[in-house]
């Protein structure tokens, strides 16, 4: 893994949360995007070399809606950039980690993504992401 790519935060409303994080981070949201496959709307912020991703469910049955229902708004996942997502997925499976998807999926911000099951990562949802070239 190369670096922390971003930190994901589950929110009920981007309309409410984007202005809040713009004030908090003292920087504008630089990108919003809908990821249809995940039923999620995203908003991205840069804070120095770091990125924050806000995640709002676009559907009451989406994973973010279910997450907020169980745990409330707040920290959702940490994403790590990788050079070769398929090789990293294979390595982690060989180390005994459980992947939530068998193949990389198209995610937000021009990335291929894969999530690791939090039961095997001390309760933290881990995302692997690789820039699509």
DSSP structure string for the chain: --EEEEEEEEES-HHHHHHHHHHHHTS---EEEEEGGGTEEEEEEEETTEEEEEEEESSTTSHHHHHHHHH-SEEEEEEEE-S-HHHHHHHHHHTTPPBS-SS-EE-SSSEEEEEE-GGGTTT-EEEEEEE--
User: Within the chain, which residues score under 50 in pLDDT?
Assistant: none
- For the whole model, what pTM was predicted? 0.92
Q: What is the pLDDT of residue 38?
A: 87
For 23-47, write each residue's pLDDT tens digit. Answer: 999 999 999 999 988 899 999 999 9
Q: What is the pLDDT of residue 95?
A: 96
């Amino acid at each position: 893994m190369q670096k922390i790519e971003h930190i994901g935060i589950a929110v009920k409303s981007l309309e409410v949360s984007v202005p809040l994080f713009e004030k908090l981070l003292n920087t504008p949201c630089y990108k919003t995007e809908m990821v249809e496959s995940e039923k999620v709307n995203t908003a991205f912020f840069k804070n120095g070399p770091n990125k924050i991703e806000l995640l709002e469910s676009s559907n009451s049955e989406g994973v973010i809606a279910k997450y907020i229902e169980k745990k409330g708004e707040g920290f959702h996942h940490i994403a790590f950039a990788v050079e070769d997502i398929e090789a990293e997925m294979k390595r982690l499976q060989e180390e005994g980690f459980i992947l939530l998807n068998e193949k990389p999926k198209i995610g937000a911000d021009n990335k291929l993504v894969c999530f690791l099951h939090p039961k095997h990562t001390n309760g933290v949802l881990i995302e692997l992401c690789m820039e699509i070239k």
